[in-house]
Structure 1
Amino acid sequence: MQSRLDKSPVATWWWTIDRWFLAAFLSLMGLGIVLSFAASPAVAERIGLDSFHFATRQIIFTVPALGVMLAVSFLESRQIRRMALVILCTMLVLMVAVLYVGVEVKGARRWVSLAGLSIQPSEFLKPAFVIVCAWLFAEHKRQPDIPGNLFALLLLVLVVSLLVAQPDLGQTMLVTGTWGVMFFMAGLPWLWIIALGVTGVSGLFAAYTVFPHVAARIDKFLTGEGDTFQVDMGREALINGHWFGVGPGEGTVKRVIPDSHADFVFSVAGEEFGLVMCFFI
Protein backbone atom coordinates (compact mmCIF):
# COMPACT_ATOMS: atom_id res chain seq x y z
CA MET A 1 0.00 0.00 0.00
CA GLN A 2 1.31 3.44 -0.94
CA SER A 3 1.47 6.30 1.58
CA ARG A 4 -0.21 9.60 0.69
CA LEU A 5 3.07 11.32 1.62
CA ASP A 6 4.93 9.34 -1.04
CA LYS A 7 5.33 11.48 -4.19
CA SER A 8 6.84 8.82 -6.43
CA PRO A 9 5.21 8.21 -9.84
CA VAL A 10 3.75 4.89 -8.67
CA ALA A 11 2.29 6.43 -5.51
CA THR A 12 0.86 9.38 -7.44
CA TRP A 13 -0.66 6.95 -9.93
CA TRP A 14 -2.22 4.86 -7.17
CA TRP A 15 -3.88 7.80 -5.44
CA THR A 16 -5.16 9.44 -8.63
CA ILE A 17 -6.34 6.41 -10.61
CA ASP A 18 -10.03 5.50 -10.59
CA ARG A 19 -9.61 2.28 -8.61
CA TRP A 20 -13.23 1.16 -9.02
CA PHE A 21 -12.87 1.45 -12.79
CA LEU A 22 -9.53 -0.38 -12.65
CA ALA A 23 -11.08 -3.19 -10.60
CA ALA A 24 -14.01 -3.48 -13.00
CA PHE A 25 -11.67 -3.53 -15.99
CA LEU A 26 -9.42 -6.23 -14.51
CA SER A 27 -12.49 -8.26 -13.52
CA LEU A 28 -13.79 -8.16 -17.08
CA MET A 29 -10.40 -9.21 -18.44
CA GLY A 30 -10.32 -12.13 -16.01
CA LEU A 31 -13.89 -13.13 -16.85
CA GLY A 32 -13.03 -12.98 -20.54
CA ILE A 33 -10.27 -15.55 -20.01
CA VAL A 34 -12.53 -17.77 -17.89
CA LEU A 35 -15.29 -17.67 -20.50
CA SER A 36 -12.78 -18.39 -23.25
CA PHE A 37 -11.73 -21.57 -21.44
CA ALA A 38 -15.41 -22.46 -20.98
CA ALA A 39 -16.67 -21.77 -24.50
CA SER A 40 -13.81 -22.16 -26.96
CA PRO A 41 -12.64 -25.81 -26.59
CA ALA A 42 -15.79 -27.17 -28.25
CA VAL A 43 -15.32 -24.82 -31.22
CA ALA A 44 -11.58 -25.52 -31.49
CA GLU A 45 -12.10 -29.28 -31.50
CA ARG A 46 -14.87 -28.94 -34.09
CA ILE A 47 -12.51 -27.26 -36.57
CA GLY A 48 -9.52 -29.50 -35.82
CA LEU A 49 -7.48 -27.23 -33.53
CA ASP A 50 -6.01 -27.82 -30.10
CA SER A 51 -8.72 -27.63 -27.42
CA PHE A 52 -7.28 -24.51 -25.82
CA HIS A 53 -6.15 -22.78 -29.02
CA PHE A 54 -8.47 -19.79 -28.64
CA ALA A 55 -8.08 -19.59 -24.86
CA THR A 56 -4.29 -19.54 -25.19
CA ARG A 57 -4.47 -16.78 -27.77
CA GLN A 58 -6.76 -14.84 -25.43
CA ILE A 59 -4.10 -14.96 -22.70
CA ILE A 60 -1.27 -14.18 -25.12
CA PHE A 61 -3.00 -10.98 -26.24
CA THR A 62 -4.33 -10.07 -22.79
CA VAL A 63 -0.90 -9.87 -21.15
CA PRO A 64 0.59 -7.19 -23.46
CA ALA A 65 -2.77 -5.38 -23.53
CA LEU A 66 -2.65 -5.14 -19.73
CA GLY A 67 0.90 -3.80 -19.92
CA VAL A 68 -0.10 -1.16 -22.48
CA MET A 69 -3.10 -0.16 -20.37
CA LEU A 70 -0.98 0.34 -17.25
CA ALA A 71 1.72 2.21 -19.18
CA VAL A 72 -0.83 4.60 -20.74
CA SER A 73 -2.42 5.23 -17.34
CA PHE A 74 0.87 6.79 -16.19
CA LEU A 75 0.75 9.41 -18.98
CA GLU A 76 -0.48 12.95 -18.55
CA SER A 77 -3.60 14.14 -20.37
CA ARG A 78 -1.56 16.14 -22.87
CA GLN A 79 0.56 13.10 -23.74
CA ILE A 80 -2.54 10.93 -24.17
CA ARG A 81 -4.12 13.47 -26.51
CA ARG A 82 -1.01 13.60 -28.67
CA MET A 83 -0.73 9.82 -28.75
CA ALA A 84 -4.42 9.51 -29.66
CA LEU A 85 -3.95 11.96 -32.53
CA VAL A 86 -1.01 9.98 -33.90
CA ILE A 87 -2.91 6.69 -33.61
CA LEU A 88 -6.00 8.21 -35.23
CA CYS A 89 -4.06 9.52 -38.23
CA THR A 90 -2.20 6.21 -38.63
CA MET A 91 -5.39 4.14 -38.47
CA LEU A 92 -7.17 6.41 -40.95
CA VAL A 93 -4.35 5.76 -43.42
CA LEU A 94 -4.61 2.02 -42.79
CA MET A 95 -8.39 2.10 -43.20
CA VAL A 96 -7.89 3.63 -46.64
CA ALA A 97 -5.29 0.96 -47.40
CA VAL A 98 -7.73 -1.77 -46.29
CA LEU A 99 -10.05 -0.84 -49.16
CA TYR A 100 -7.31 -1.68 -51.68
CA VAL A 101 -5.03 -4.30 -50.11
CA GLY A 102 -7.16 -5.59 -47.25
CA VAL A 103 -8.12 -9.22 -46.76
CA GLU A 104 -11.67 -9.87 -47.96
CA VAL A 105 -13.80 -12.02 -45.65
CA LYS A 106 -17.46 -12.70 -46.46
CA GLY A 107 -17.62 -9.76 -48.86
CA ALA A 108 -16.05 -7.21 -46.49
CA ARG A 109 -12.53 -5.78 -46.31
CA ARG A 110 -11.71 -4.96 -42.68
CA TRP A 111 -8.30 -6.51 -42.07
CA VAL A 112 -4.82 -5.63 -43.27
CA SER A 113 -1.64 -7.67 -42.89
CA LEU A 114 1.41 -5.96 -41.39
CA ALA A 115 4.64 -7.88 -40.76
CA GLY A 116 2.71 -11.13 -40.91
CA LEU A 117 0.16 -9.97 -38.34
CA SER A 118 -3.44 -9.27 -39.35
CA ILE A 119 -4.98 -6.24 -37.67
CA GLN A 120 -8.34 -4.51 -37.91
CA PRO A 121 -7.55 -0.76 -38.03
CA SER A 122 -11.06 0.25 -36.95
CA GLU A 123 -10.54 -1.43 -33.56
CA PHE A 124 -7.48 0.71 -32.83
CA LEU A 125 -9.16 3.78 -34.29
CA LYS A 126 -12.15 3.73 -31.91
CA PRO A 127 -10.44 4.74 -28.64
CA ALA A 128 -8.30 7.33 -30.43
CA PHE A 129 -11.40 8.72 -32.15
CA VAL A 130 -13.21 9.12 -28.81
CA ILE A 131 -10.27 10.91 -27.18
CA VAL A 132 -9.70 13.29 -30.09
CA CYS A 133 -13.40 14.16 -30.40
CA ALA A 134 -13.66 14.75 -26.65
CA TRP A 135 -10.63 17.02 -26.93
CA LEU A 136 -12.25 18.97 -29.79
CA PHE A 137 -15.54 19.37 -27.91
CA ALA A 138 -13.70 20.54 -24.79
CA GLU A 139 -11.55 23.03 -26.70
CA HIS A 140 -14.62 24.56 -28.35
CA LYS A 141 -16.32 24.93 -24.98
CA ARG A 142 -13.20 26.51 -23.49
CA GLN A 143 -12.55 28.78 -26.48
CA PRO A 144 -15.71 29.25 -28.62
CA ASP A 145 -13.67 30.77 -31.45
CA ILE A 146 -12.06 27.35 -32.02
CA PRO A 147 -14.32 25.34 -34.41
CA GLY A 148 -13.88 22.14 -32.42
CA ASN A 149 -17.47 20.98 -32.95
CA LEU A 150 -17.16 21.35 -36.71
CA PHE A 151 -13.85 19.45 -36.78
CA ALA A 152 -15.39 16.67 -34.66
CA LEU A 153 -18.33 16.44 -37.07
CA LEU A 154 -16.04 16.31 -40.11
CA LEU A 155 -13.97 13.62 -38.40
CA LEU A 156 -17.14 11.59 -37.78
CA VAL A 157 -18.13 11.89 -41.44
CA LEU A 158 -14.66 10.73 -42.53
CA VAL A 159 -14.61 7.72 -40.20
CA VAL A 160 -18.18 6.69 -41.03
CA SER A 161 -17.46 6.97 -44.77
CA LEU A 162 -14.48 4.62 -44.45
CA LEU A 163 -16.45 2.14 -42.33
CA VAL A 164 -19.38 2.07 -44.76
CA ALA A 165 -16.96 1.53 -47.65
CA GLN A 166 -15.63 -1.69 -46.06
CA PRO A 167 -18.62 -2.26 -45.33
CA ASP A 168 -18.91 -2.50 -41.52
CA LEU A 169 -22.35 -1.31 -40.48
CA GLY A 170 -22.03 -2.55 -36.91
CA GLN A 171 -18.96 -0.44 -36.24
CA THR A 172 -20.59 2.47 -38.04
CA MET A 173 -23.57 2.42 -35.68
CA LEU A 174 -21.30 2.03 -32.65
CA VAL A 175 -19.05 4.95 -33.61
CA THR A 176 -21.99 7.19 -34.52
CA GLY A 177 -23.86 6.36 -31.32
CA THR A 178 -20.79 7.02 -29.17
CA TRP A 179 -20.17 10.32 -30.93
CA GLY A 180 -23.82 11.26 -30.39
CA VAL A 181 -23.59 10.60 -26.63
CA MET A 182 -20.42 12.69 -26.43
CA PHE A 183 -22.14 15.40 -28.44
CA PHE A 184 -25.04 15.40 -25.96
CA MET A 185 -22.74 15.38 -22.90
CA ALA A 186 -20.85 18.35 -24.32
CA GLY A 187 -24.04 20.38 -23.79
CA LEU A 188 -24.53 21.33 -27.40
CA PRO A 189 -27.80 22.77 -28.81
CA TRP A 190 -30.86 20.51 -29.00
CA LEU A 191 -31.31 21.44 -32.64
CA TRP A 192 -27.98 19.81 -33.44
CA ILE A 193 -28.93 16.73 -31.42
CA ILE A 194 -32.27 16.40 -33.22
CA ALA A 195 -30.50 16.80 -36.56
CA LEU A 196 -28.06 14.05 -35.58
CA GLY A 197 -30.95 11.76 -34.63
CA VAL A 198 -32.71 12.36 -37.93
CA THR A 199 -29.45 11.69 -39.77
CA GLY A 200 -28.96 8.45 -37.86
CA VAL A 201 -32.45 7.19 -38.67
CA SER A 202 -31.97 8.18 -42.31
CA GLY A 203 -28.66 6.33 -42.38
CA LEU A 204 -30.26 3.20 -40.94
CA PHE A 205 -33.00 3.37 -43.57
CA ALA A 206 -30.38 3.81 -46.30
CA ALA A 207 -28.43 0.80 -44.98
CA TYR A 208 -31.64 -1.26 -44.98
CA THR A 209 -32.24 -0.26 -48.59
CA VAL A 210 -28.69 -0.61 -49.94
CA PHE A 211 -27.22 -3.59 -48.06
CA PRO A 212 -29.16 -6.87 -48.39
CA HIS A 213 -27.54 -8.46 -45.31
CA VAL A 214 -28.65 -5.52 -43.15
CA ALA A 215 -32.20 -5.82 -44.45
CA ALA A 216 -32.14 -9.57 -43.81
CA ARG A 217 -31.02 -9.12 -40.19
CA ILE A 218 -33.61 -6.44 -39.46
CA ASP A 219 -36.39 -8.49 -41.08
CA LYS A 220 -35.30 -11.55 -39.11
CA PHE A 221 -35.35 -9.57 -35.86
CA LEU A 222 -38.79 -8.11 -36.54
CA THR A 223 -40.50 -11.22 -37.90
CA GLY A 224 -38.58 -14.07 -36.29
CA GLU A 225 -38.49 -15.82 -39.66
CA GLY A 226 -35.49 -17.24 -41.51
CA ASP A 227 -32.39 -18.91 -40.07
CA THR A 228 -32.53 -18.16 -36.33
CA PHE A 229 -30.63 -21.27 -35.20
CA GLN A 230 -27.91 -19.49 -33.21
CA VAL A 231 -30.39 -17.11 -31.59
CA ASP A 232 -32.66 -20.01 -30.64
CA MET A 233 -29.75 -21.99 -29.19
CA GLY A 234 -28.52 -18.92 -27.31
CA ARG A 235 -31.96 -18.48 -25.78
CA GLU A 236 -32.05 -22.17 -24.84
CA ALA A 237 -28.66 -21.83 -23.14
CA LEU A 238 -29.94 -18.99 -20.95
CA ILE A 239 -33.05 -21.00 -20.07
CA ASN A 240 -30.95 -24.06 -19.15
CA GLY A 241 -28.70 -22.01 -16.88
CA HIS A 242 -31.51 -20.58 -14.72
CA TRP A 243 -30.22 -18.35 -11.91
CA PHE A 244 -26.98 -20.08 -10.94
CA GLY A 245 -25.97 -22.12 -13.99
CA VAL A 246 -25.24 -25.79 -14.55
CA GLY A 247 -21.57 -25.42 -13.55
CA PRO A 248 -18.27 -24.66 -15.33
CA GLY A 249 -17.73 -26.95 -18.30
CA GLU A 250 -21.15 -28.58 -17.95
CA GLY A 251 -22.93 -26.60 -20.64
CA THR A 252 -24.13 -28.44 -23.74
CA VAL A 253 -25.45 -25.74 -26.08
CA LYS A 254 -21.92 -24.44 -26.74
CA ARG A 255 -21.21 -27.65 -28.63
CA VAL A 256 -23.72 -26.82 -31.35
CA ILE A 257 -23.48 -23.01 -31.60
CA PRO A 258 -20.87 -22.18 -34.32
CA ASP A 259 -19.84 -18.87 -32.69
CA SER A 260 -20.14 -19.88 -29.04
CA HIS A 261 -16.61 -18.56 -28.36
CA ALA A 262 -17.29 -15.18 -29.98
CA ASP A 263 -20.65 -13.49 -30.60
CA PHE A 264 -22.56 -15.98 -28.43
CA VAL A 265 -20.12 -16.36 -25.53
CA PHE A 266 -22.64 -14.57 -23.30
CA SER A 267 -25.00 -17.50 -23.85
CA VAL A 268 -22.32 -19.86 -22.57
CA ALA A 269 -21.89 -17.65 -19.51
CA GLY A 270 -25.64 -17.80 -18.92
CA GLU A 271 -25.83 -21.58 -19.19
CA GLU A 272 -22.77 -22.45 -17.11
CA PHE A 273 -22.74 -19.61 -14.56
CA GLY A 274 -26.37 -18.49 -14.53
CA LEU A 275 -28.29 -15.26 -14.85
CA VAL A 276 -26.80 -13.92 -11.60
CA MET A 277 -23.33 -13.93 -13.18
CA CYS A 278 -24.78 -12.42 -16.37
CA PHE A 279 -26.20 -9.52 -14.35
CA PHE A 280 -22.79 -9.07 -12.70
CA ILE A 281 -21.03 -9.00 -16.08
Structure 2
Amino acid sequence: MTQVTRPEAGADNPSRGLAARVTLGRVFAPVSTEFVLIASTTLLLTIFGLVMVLSATSATEGSDGPYGVVMRQGVFAVIGIPVMFLLSRLPVLFWKRIAWPALILATMLQLLVFVPGIGVENDGNRNWIHIAGQNLQPSEFLKLALALWIGYVLYRKQTLLTQWKHVFIP
Protein backbone atom coordinates (compact mmCIF):
# COMPACT_ATOMS: atom_id res chain seq x y z
CA MET A 1 0.00 0.00 0.00
CA THR A 2 1.38 3.39 -0.98
CA GLN A 3 1.01 6.29 1.36
CA VAL A 4 0.69 9.80 -0.06
CA THR A 5 2.25 12.53 2.06
CA ARG A 6 1.82 16.21 1.62
CA PRO A 7 4.96 18.27 1.02
CA GLU A 8 5.86 21.07 3.32
CA ALA A 9 4.18 24.39 2.69
CA GLY A 10 7.41 26.10 1.64
CA ALA A 11 8.72 23.29 -0.50
CA ASP A 12 9.43 23.97 -4.14
CA ASN A 13 7.37 21.06 -5.42
CA PRO A 14 5.01 21.55 -8.40
CA SER A 15 2.69 18.81 -7.16
CA ARG A 16 1.30 19.89 -3.85
CA GLY A 17 0.48 16.36 -2.72
CA LEU A 18 -2.94 16.28 -4.31
CA ALA A 19 -4.24 12.80 -4.81
CA ALA A 20 -7.20 11.74 -6.93
CA ARG A 21 -9.35 8.72 -6.38
CA VAL A 22 -10.96 7.05 -9.37
CA THR A 23 -14.01 4.93 -8.81
CA LEU A 24 -15.72 2.85 -11.43
CA GLY A 25 -18.93 2.68 -9.46
CA ARG A 26 -21.16 -0.27 -10.15
CA VAL A 27 -19.32 -1.38 -13.29
CA PHE A 28 -17.00 -3.75 -11.45
CA ALA A 29 -19.07 -4.25 -8.32
CA PRO A 30 -19.50 -7.85 -7.22
CA VAL A 31 -22.57 -9.55 -8.62
CA SER A 32 -25.08 -11.67 -6.76
CA THR A 33 -25.41 -15.43 -6.98
CA GLU A 34 -28.80 -15.02 -8.66
CA PHE A 35 -27.20 -12.93 -11.41
CA VAL A 36 -24.53 -15.57 -12.01
CA LEU A 37 -27.20 -18.29 -12.15
CA ILE A 38 -29.37 -16.35 -14.61
CA ALA A 39 -26.41 -15.29 -16.77
CA SER A 40 -24.94 -18.79 -16.95
CA THR A 41 -28.36 -20.26 -17.79
CA THR A 42 -28.77 -17.67 -20.54
CA LEU A 43 -25.34 -18.46 -21.98
CA LEU A 44 -25.99 -22.20 -21.89
CA LEU A 45 -29.37 -21.78 -23.60
CA THR A 46 -27.78 -19.57 -26.26
CA ILE A 47 -25.12 -22.19 -26.98
CA PHE A 48 -27.75 -24.94 -26.99
CA GLY A 49 -29.89 -22.90 -29.39
CA LEU A 50 -26.96 -22.41 -31.76
CA VAL A 51 -26.28 -26.16 -31.73
CA MET A 52 -29.95 -26.84 -32.51
CA VAL A 53 -29.90 -24.34 -35.39
CA LEU A 54 -26.77 -26.04 -36.70
CA SER A 55 -28.42 -29.43 -36.39
CA ALA A 56 -31.58 -28.29 -38.17
CA THR A 57 -29.93 -26.40 -41.04
CA SER A 58 -26.61 -28.09 -41.79
CA ALA A 59 -28.25 -30.75 -43.99
CA THR A 60 -29.82 -28.14 -46.27
CA GLU A 61 -27.75 -26.32 -48.84
CA GLY A 62 -28.75 -22.67 -48.87
CA SER A 63 -27.25 -19.68 -50.64
CA ASP A 64 -24.85 -19.18 -47.69
CA GLY A 65 -23.73 -22.80 -47.58
CA PRO A 66 -24.61 -25.41 -44.98
CA TYR A 67 -23.37 -23.28 -42.08
CA GLY A 68 -24.67 -19.89 -43.21
CA VAL A 69 -27.72 -19.78 -40.94
CA VAL A 70 -25.83 -20.77 -37.80
CA MET A 71 -23.05 -18.29 -38.59
CA ARG A 72 -25.59 -15.49 -38.92
CA GLN A 73 -27.21 -16.50 -35.62
CA GLY A 74 -23.75 -16.73 -34.05
CA VAL A 75 -23.01 -13.14 -35.07
CA PHE A 76 -26.22 -12.02 -33.37
CA ALA A 77 -25.20 -13.97 -30.24
CA VAL A 78 -21.70 -12.46 -30.22
CA ILE A 79 -23.20 -8.97 -30.44
CA GLY A 80 -26.13 -9.63 -28.10
CA ILE A 81 -24.28 -11.21 -25.17
CA PRO A 82 -22.03 -8.20 -24.38
CA VAL A 83 -25.01 -5.87 -24.88
CA MET A 84 -26.97 -8.02 -22.42
CA PHE A 85 -24.23 -7.71 -19.80
CA LEU A 86 -23.95 -3.94 -20.31
CA LEU A 87 -27.72 -3.47 -20.02
CA SER A 88 -27.81 -5.60 -16.87
CA ARG A 89 -25.62 -3.03 -15.12
CA LEU A 90 -28.13 -0.20 -15.63
CA PRO A 91 -29.96 0.91 -12.49
CA VAL A 92 -33.43 -0.38 -11.67
CA LEU A 93 -34.77 3.19 -11.84
CA PHE A 94 -33.93 3.29 -15.56
CA TRP A 95 -35.88 0.07 -16.22
CA LYS A 96 -38.84 1.35 -14.17
CA ARG A 97 -38.94 4.58 -16.18
CA ILE A 98 -38.68 2.86 -19.54
CA ALA A 99 -41.28 0.10 -18.94
CA TRP A 100 -44.36 1.99 -20.13
CA PRO A 101 -42.70 3.75 -23.11
CA ALA A 102 -41.17 0.43 -24.22
CA LEU A 103 -44.57 -1.27 -24.09
CA ILE A 104 -46.23 1.53 -26.06
CA LEU A 105 -43.46 1.62 -28.68
CA ALA A 106 -43.44 -2.16 -29.09
CA THR A 107 -47.23 -2.19 -29.48
CA MET A 108 -47.01 0.52 -32.15
CA LEU A 109 -44.33 -1.52 -33.96
CA GLN A 110 -46.58 -4.57 -33.79
CA LEU A 111 -49.44 -2.59 -35.34
CA LEU A 112 -47.19 -1.66 -38.29
CA VAL A 113 -47.62 -5.18 -39.69
CA PHE A 114 -51.11 -4.10 -40.83
CA VAL A 115 -49.84 -1.04 -42.74
CA PRO A 116 -49.64 -1.74 -46.49
CA GLY A 117 -46.10 -1.35 -47.81
CA ILE A 118 -44.54 -1.86 -44.37
CA GLY A 119 -46.11 -5.14 -43.28
CA VAL A 120 -44.67 -8.17 -45.07
CA GLU A 121 -46.65 -11.35 -45.66
CA ASN A 122 -44.82 -14.67 -45.67
CA ASP A 123 -46.60 -18.03 -46.14
CA GLY A 124 -49.95 -16.50 -45.25
CA ASN A 125 -48.67 -14.78 -42.09
CA ARG A 126 -48.31 -11.04 -41.89
CA ASN A 127 -45.93 -10.78 -38.93
CA TRP A 128 -42.89 -8.98 -40.33
CA ILE A 129 -42.21 -5.33 -41.13
CA HIS A 130 -39.81 -3.95 -43.71
CA ILE A 131 -38.11 -0.73 -42.56
CA ALA A 132 -34.90 0.82 -43.93
CA GLY A 133 -34.04 -2.25 -45.96
CA GLN A 134 -34.32 -4.56 -42.96
CA ASN A 135 -37.00 -7.09 -42.10
CA LEU A 136 -37.94 -7.07 -38.42
CA GLN A 137 -40.34 -9.16 -36.42
CA PRO A 138 -41.95 -6.71 -33.99
CA SER A 139 -43.36 -9.49 -31.81
CA GLU A 140 -39.81 -10.08 -30.51
CA PHE A 141 -39.65 -6.49 -29.25
CA LEU A 142 -43.11 -6.90 -27.78
CA LYS A 143 -41.98 -9.98 -25.83
CA LEU A 144 -39.16 -8.01 -24.22
CA ALA A 145 -41.38 -5.02 -23.52
CA LEU A 146 -44.04 -7.22 -21.92
CA ALA A 147 -41.47 -8.93 -19.69
CA LEU A 148 -40.13 -5.52 -18.61
CA TRP A 149 -43.63 -4.14 -18.02
CA ILE A 150 -44.78 -7.20 -16.03
CA GLY A 151 -41.65 -6.89 -13.89
CA TYR A 152 -42.52 -3.24 -13.27
CA VAL A 153 -46.12 -4.11 -12.33
CA LEU A 154 -45.00 -6.85 -9.95
CA TYR A 155 -42.39 -4.51 -8.42
CA ARG A 156 -45.07 -1.90 -7.72
CA LYS A 157 -47.43 -4.50 -6.25
CA GLN A 158 -44.83 -6.41 -4.22
CA THR A 159 -46.40 -5.49 -0.89
CA LEU A 160 -49.81 -6.73 -2.10
CA LEU A 161 -48.60 -10.07 -3.50
CA THR A 162 -49.55 -11.91 -0.32
CA GLN A 163 -53.20 -11.62 -1.38
CA TRP A 164 -54.22 -14.10 -4.10
CA LYS A 165 -56.33 -11.60 -6.09
CA HIS A 166 -53.31 -9.32 -6.53
CA VAL A 167 -51.19 -12.22 -7.74
CA PHE A 168 -53.58 -13.65 -10.34
CA ILE A 169 -55.36 -10.56 -11.67
CA PRO A 170 -52.31 -8.72 -13.11
* Structure-2-length-normalised TM-score: 0.71
Partner residue, 2:44: 27
Structure 1 stretches of 4+ moved >6 Å: none
Classify 1:29/1:35 alpha carbon distance in 2 versus 1 (closer, same or farther; 3 Å).
Answer: same
1:18-76 deviation line (CA, Å, top 9, x unaligned): 11121111111122223333331212x1x454111101111111112112211111011
The CA deviation at 1:138 is 3.5
Instruction: Answer whether contact 2:120 2:126 (CA < 8 A) is retained.
Output: yes
Partner residue, 1:163: none
The CA deviation at 1:130 is 2.1
1:124-182 deviation line (CA, Å, top 9, x unaligned): 1112212213322432455x8xxxxxxxxxxxxxxxxxxxxxxxxxxxxxxxxxxxxxx
Whole-Å Cα distance in 1 between the matches of residues 43 and 99 of structure 2? 22
Instruction: Answer whether contact 2:106 2:145 (CA < 8 A) is retained.
Output: no
Whole-Å Cα distance in 2 between the matches of residues 77 and 186 of structure 1? 23
Partner residue, 1:69: 84
Partner residue, 1:51: 66
1:169-212 deviation line (CA, Å, top 9, x unaligned): xxxxxxxxxxxxxxxx774329x95x99xxxxxxxxxxxxxxxx
Larger Rg, first or second structure (1 or 2): 2
Equivalent positions of 1:76-95 (< 5 A) are 76-95=91-110
Partner residue, 1:114: 131
1:84-111 deviation line (CA, Å, top 9, x unaligned): 3332221111111111231012222111
Partner residue, 2:75: 60
Classify 1:125/1:13 alpha carbon distance in 2 versus 1 (closer, same or farther; 3 Å).
Answer: farther
The CA deviation at 1:13 is 4.8
Whole-Å Cα distance in 1 between the matches of residues 25 and 33 of structure 2? 12
Whole-Å Cα distance in 1 between the matches of residues 155 and 25 of structure 2? 30
Classify 1:187/1:117 alpha carbon distance in 2 versus 1 (closer, same or farther; 3 Å).
Answer: farther
In the alignment, structure 1 segments of 5+ residues that lack a partner are 1-5, 145-184, 197-281
In the alignment, structure 2 segments of 5+ residues that lack a partner are 1-22
Partner residue, 1:277: none
* Structure-1-length-normalised TM-score: 0.45
**SS at structure 2 position matched to 1:23:** helix
Instruction: Answer whether contact 1:111 1:119 (CA < 8 A) is retained.
Output: yes
**SS at structure 2 position matched to 1:42:** coil
Alignment root-mean-square deviation, CA? 3.0
Whole-Å Cα distance in 2 between the matches of residues 21 and 69 of structure 1? 12
Whole-Å Cα distance in 1 between the matches of residues 158 and 89 of structure 2? 26
Partner residue, 1:18: 35
Question: Which AA in structure 1 matches 2:165?
Answer: P
Question: Which AA in structure 1 matches 2:55?
Answer: A
1:228-273 deviation line (CA, Å, top 9, x unaligned): xxxxxxxxxxxxxxxxxxxxxxxxxxxxxxxxxxxxxxxxxxxxxx
Question: Which AA in structure 2 matches 1:189?
Answer: K
Instruction: Answer whether contact 1:85 1:132 (CA < 8 A) is retained.
Output: yes
Partner residue, 1:189: 165
Instruction: Percent identity, please.
Output: 26
